[in-house]
C-alpha cells in the first residue's frame, strides 16, 4: 500500500470504530466523528509525536479535541495508537467506563475535559504557552475544533492571544462540516469566512478539502514549518462522511446510526490495525532558579489591604517555587499581581481583558505541571465561570484570586462589586474558598494555595485593614480563628466584615454582652469544630458577609449544623438591596453589614435567645 492508502485505511478504521462505539452506547456523536477522521488519520500516522506508553513524557505533543463531542473519534484514535483495547472502546458511555460521553482526564492521554464548546482552543493556547515560555520544549499542540464553536467569543480570545504570543507550536484544525446540532452554522462551507477572520487576527490559515489526504498532509507540513505565528487549517468536510445514509444530512447530530452494521460494511468492515505513533525526542522541562521562601510580614495594627498582601506573597512564593506562574487580566495594579510581574517577569503573563482565556490558560499551564495563579476583580471571574466549572471536570489544579469584593469597594459601584463569588465558587466541585481578613493571614494562605489541589479561590479586599495576626501565626486551609472570645453570641465574619465584627464586639462589650468573633478565613472547607464549639458556648450566631445572602457565609454556616442535634439560631447579615456608589463606610452601613448593624442584630438575638430559654 502507498502511504496514502494506509492513511485511508486508518481513516476508515477510525470511522468504523466511531460508528461501533456509538452503536453499542446507543448514543454519542458518530457523524461529528466521521467528518474529521481523515484529518486525524494523517495526524496520527505522520505528524503526532506521542509516547502513548508514557503520557507523562514532557516532550509529548498534545492533542486536544475542542469539539469534545467527537469523543468516538478520539477514543478510536487511542485504539489505533494501541492505547486502549477494542474491548474498552466498546464500553463507551457505559457507567464506570473511562470513555465518557465527552473526554475527561480520567484517561491519561486526555489533558483536559472538553464538551463545553469553545474551551479546547483557549486551553490549547495555555499548553502551547507552557511549551514556548516555560517548558521550552518543542512539543506541538494540535487542537481539533468544530465549526459551530467558532461562534464562541472565547475562541477569538484564543486566536488573539495565540497570535500575540507568536505560538507557532499551536495548530488549530477546524472541521467545517457545515452542520451544527440543529441546522447549518452561520457560515456553512464558506471556508474564507473562517480563514479571513483568522488571518486578520494574525494567524496563518490554510484552506483544504478535509477529505483529501494529500491536501491534509501538505497543510500539516505547512503548519509545522510556519514560524512566528500559529496556523489554522480550515478543512471543508462532510458530516457523516463515508456513510451515505447520513452524509451531510441534518437531524443526525448526537445520535447513533440507525443501521450501524450496514455503515460498517460500507466503510469496509472492522479493522484492528495499530499505528506505530512516532515518539518525541527526549527533552526535559526548563527549570527556573529559585531561592528560599520569604513571605512578607506585616506588623500587627499596620494597615494593609489583603490584595496587596496577595501580591507581596505571590512574588515571594514565585521566587521560592519555580513552578509558580502568574497571570492577570489587565488589572495587575489593582490585584497587585504586578509585584510578581516585576520580580518574576519570566513567569508572568499579561492576559489583557480576556478572563475566559486567562482561566483557560491557567488550565493549560497546569496540564504541564505548572502552578498558575490568575487574578482579576472577583466580579469578573463570573466571566469565566464556565471555564472554572469545566476546570473542575478537568481535575485541574488552578489558583484564582478575585480582588475588590463586595460593596466595601465604594464609589465604583455595583458593576465592580463581587457579591456572588462565594456562592459561585463554593458550588464548584472540590473547590477551596479562602477569604482572609488581614495581610499576614492572606500571605500565609497564598503559600498554602500553591500546593493545594483543585480549584482554589481567594477573595481579597480593596481597602486597607488593620493587621490582626502575628506573622508567624499559621492559617491551615479548613481552619478558622477565634479572634475574640465570648459567651453570649457568636459573630462570624471574614474579610472586611471581620473588622466590623470586632468593632461590634467592642460596642457589645460596653453593653455587657460578650461576643465571640470568628474569622472564617476558610469558607470552604469550613471549620466545623470551631463553629460547633462556638454554637455550644453561645447558642446563637450572627453571620455577616459582604455578599448577597444566598450561597455565601451564612449558608455555609447553616450547612454545618443542618444535621446536628443542637442547631443554633443563625441571623444572617448580608447585602440585600442593589448598592450604588458611596464611600465604603456608607455602603457597609446601607447594606446593614457594618459594626452598628452587627451589634444591633447581636443584641436582639441575645435577648430573643435568653427570652426563649
186 to 205, contacts with a copy of itself by CB under 8 A?
186, 196-197, 199-201
548 interacts with a copy of itself by CB under 8 A: yes
Nearest to 575 by CA among 593, 562, 602: 593
Binds a copy of itself (CB under 8 A): choice among 30, 126, 180, 402: 180
Q: What is the C-alpha separation between 519 and 493, in angstroms, rounded?
A: 6
333 interacts with a copy of itself by CB under 8 A: yes
Binds a copy of itself (CB under 8 A): choice among 164, 224, 271, 288: 164
- Describe the chain by its helix, strand, coil percentages, rounded to 5: 45, 15, 40
330 interacts with a copy of itself by CB under 8 A: yes
- 355, 420, 448, 500: the catalytic one is 355
Nearest to 277 by CA among 60, 22, 489: 60
Smallest distance from a copy of itself to CB 157, Å: 4
Binds a copy of itself (CB under 8 A): choice among 124, 237, 306, 356: 356
Smallest distance from a copy of itself to CB 365, Å: 19
Residue with cell 458593576: 415
18 interacts with a copy of itself by CB under 8 A: no
Smallest distance from a copy of itself to CB 401, Å: 15
Name which of residues 61 to 90 contact a copy of itself (CB under 8 A): 68
User: Starting at the edge strand that comes first in sequence, how are the strands of the sheet with 348-350 ordered?
Assistant: 348-350, 324-328, 371-377, 398-403, 455-459, 432-434, 522-524
The answer to whether 226 and 164 have CB atoms below 8 angstroms apart is no
273 interacts with a copy of itself by CB under 8 A: no
Smallest distance from a copy of itself to CB 24, Å: 12
Name which of residues 131 to 150 contact a copy of itself (CB under 8 A): 148-149
Q: What is the C-alpha separation between 494 and 445, in angstroms, rounded?
A: 14
Smallest distance from a copy of itself to CB 174, Å: 14
Degrees (nearest 5) of the Cα angle 291, 293, 295? 140
Q: What is the C-alpha separation between 158 and 152, in angstroms, rounded?
A: 10
Closer to a copy of itself by CB, 156 or 435: give it: 156
Closer to a copy of itself by CB, 103 or 285: give it: 103
CB atoms within 10 A of CB 269: 10
The phi, psi pair for 204, rounded to 5°, reads -85, 135
Closer to a copy of itself by CB, 190 or 212: give it: 190
Binds a copy of itself (CB under 8 A): choice among 9, 51, 160, 596: 160
CB atoms within 10 A of CB 131: 25
Binds a copy of itself (CB under 8 A): choice among 228, 265, 412, 451: 412
152 is catalytic: no
Name which of residues 21 to 40 contact a copy of itself (CB under 8 A): 25, 27-28
CB atoms within 10 A of CB 237: 25
Smallest distance from a copy of itself to CB 377, Å: 9
Amino acid at each position: 500500500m502507498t502511504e496514502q492508502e494506509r492513511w485511508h485505511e486508518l481513516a476508515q478504521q477510525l470511522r468504523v470504530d466511531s460508528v461501533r462505539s456509538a452503536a453499542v452506547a446507543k448514543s454519542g456523536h458518530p457523524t461529528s466523528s466521521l467528518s474529521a477522521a481523515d484529518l486525524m488519520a494523517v495526524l496520527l500516522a505522520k505528524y503526532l509525536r506521542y509516547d502513548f506508553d508514557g503520557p507523562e513524557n514532557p516532550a509529548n505533543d498534545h492533542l486536544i479535541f475542542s469539539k469534545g463531542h467527537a469523543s468516538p473519534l478520539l477514543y478510536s484514535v487511542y485504539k489505533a495508537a494501541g492505547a486502549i483495547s477494542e474491548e474498552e472502546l466498546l464500553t463507551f458511555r457505559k457507567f464506570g467506563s473511562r470513555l465518557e460521553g465527552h473526554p475527561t482526564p480520567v484517561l491519561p492521554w486526555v489533558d483536559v475535559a472538553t464538551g463545553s464548546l469553545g474551551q479546547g482552543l483557549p486551553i490549547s493556547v495555555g499548553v502551547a504557552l507552557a511549551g514556548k515560555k516555560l517548558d521550552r520544549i518543542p512539543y506541538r499542540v494540535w487542537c481539533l475544533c468544530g465549526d459551530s464553536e467558532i461562534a464562541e467569543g472565547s475562541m477569538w480570545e484564543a486566536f488573539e492571544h495565540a497570535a500575540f504570543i507568536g505560538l507557532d507550536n499551536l495548530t488549530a484544525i477546524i472541521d467545517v462540516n457545515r452542520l451544527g446540532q440543529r441546522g447549518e452554522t452561520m457560515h456553512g462551507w464558506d471556508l474564507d469566512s473562517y480563514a479571513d477572520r483568522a488571518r486578520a487576527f494574525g494567524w496563518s490559515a490554510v484552506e483544504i478539502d478535509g477529505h483529501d489526504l494529500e491536501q491534509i498532509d501538505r497543510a500539516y507540513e505547512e503548519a509545522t514549518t510556519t514560524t512566528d505565528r500559529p496556523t489554522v487549517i480550515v478543512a471543508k468536510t462532510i458530516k457523516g462522511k463515508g456513510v451515505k445514509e447520513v452524509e451531510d444530512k441534518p437531524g443526525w447530530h448526537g445520535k447513533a446510526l440507525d443501521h450501524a452494521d450496514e455503515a460498517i460494511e460500507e466503510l469496509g468492515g472492522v479493522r484492528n490495525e495499530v499505528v506505530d505513533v512516532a515518539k518525541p525526542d527526549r527533552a526535559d522541562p526548563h527549570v527556573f532558579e529559585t531561592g528560599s521562601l520569604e513571605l512578607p510580614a506585616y506588623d500587627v495594627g499596620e494597615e494593609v489591604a489583603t490584595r496587596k498582601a496577595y501580591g507581596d506573597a505571590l512574588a515571594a512564593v514565585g521566587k521560592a517555587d519555580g513552578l509558580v506562574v502568574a497571570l492577570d487580566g489587565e488589572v495587575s495594579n489593582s490585584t497587585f499581581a504586578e509585584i510578581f510581574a516585576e520580580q518574576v517577569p519570566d513567569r508572568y503573563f499579561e492576559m489583557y481583558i480576556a478572563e475566559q482565556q486567562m482561566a483557560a490558560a491557567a488550565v493549560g499551564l497546569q496540564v504541564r505541571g505548572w502552578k498558575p495563579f490568575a487574578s482579576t476583580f472577583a466580579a469578573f471571574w463570573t466571566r469565566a465561570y464556565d471555564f472554572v466549572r469545566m476546570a473542575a471536570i478537568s481535575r485541574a489544579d488552578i489558583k484564582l484570586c478575585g480582588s475588590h469584593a463586595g460593596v466595601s469597594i465604594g464609589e465604583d459601584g455595583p458593576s465592580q462589586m463581587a457579591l456572588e463569588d462565594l456562592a459561585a465558587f463554593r458550588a464548584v466541585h472540590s473547590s477551596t474558598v479562602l477569604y482572609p481578613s488581614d495581610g499576614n493571614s492572606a500571605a500565609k494562605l497564598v503559600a498554602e494555595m500553591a500546593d493545594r489541589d483543585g480549584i482554589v479561590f481567594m477573595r481579597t479586599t480593596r481597602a486597607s485593614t488593620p493587621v490582626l495576626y502575628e506573622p508567624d501565626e499559621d492559617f491551615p486551609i479548613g481552619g478558622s480563628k477565634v479572634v475574640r472570645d465570648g459567651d453570649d453570641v457568636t459573630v462570624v465574619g471574614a474579610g472586611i466584615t471581620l473588622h466590623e465584627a470586632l468593632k461590634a464586639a467592642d460596642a457589645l462589650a460596653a453593653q455587657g454582652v460578650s461576643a465571640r468573633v470568628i474569622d472564617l478565613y476558610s469558607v470552604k472547607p469550613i471549620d466545623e469544630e470551631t463553629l460547633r464549639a462556638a454554637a455550644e458556648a453561645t447558642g446563637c450566631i450572627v453571620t455577616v458577609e459582604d455578599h448577597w445572602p444566598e450561597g455565601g457565609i451564612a449558608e455555609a454556616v447553616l450547612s454545618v449544623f443542618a444535621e446536628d442535634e443542637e442547631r443554633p439560631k443563625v441571623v444572617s447579615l448580608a447585602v440585600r438591596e442593589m448598592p450604588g456608589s458611596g464611600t465604603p463606610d456608607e455602603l457597609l452601613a446601607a447594606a446593614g453589614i457594618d459594626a452598628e448593624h452587627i451589634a444591633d442584630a447581636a443584641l436582639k438575638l441575645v435577648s430573643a435567645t435568653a427570652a426563649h430559654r
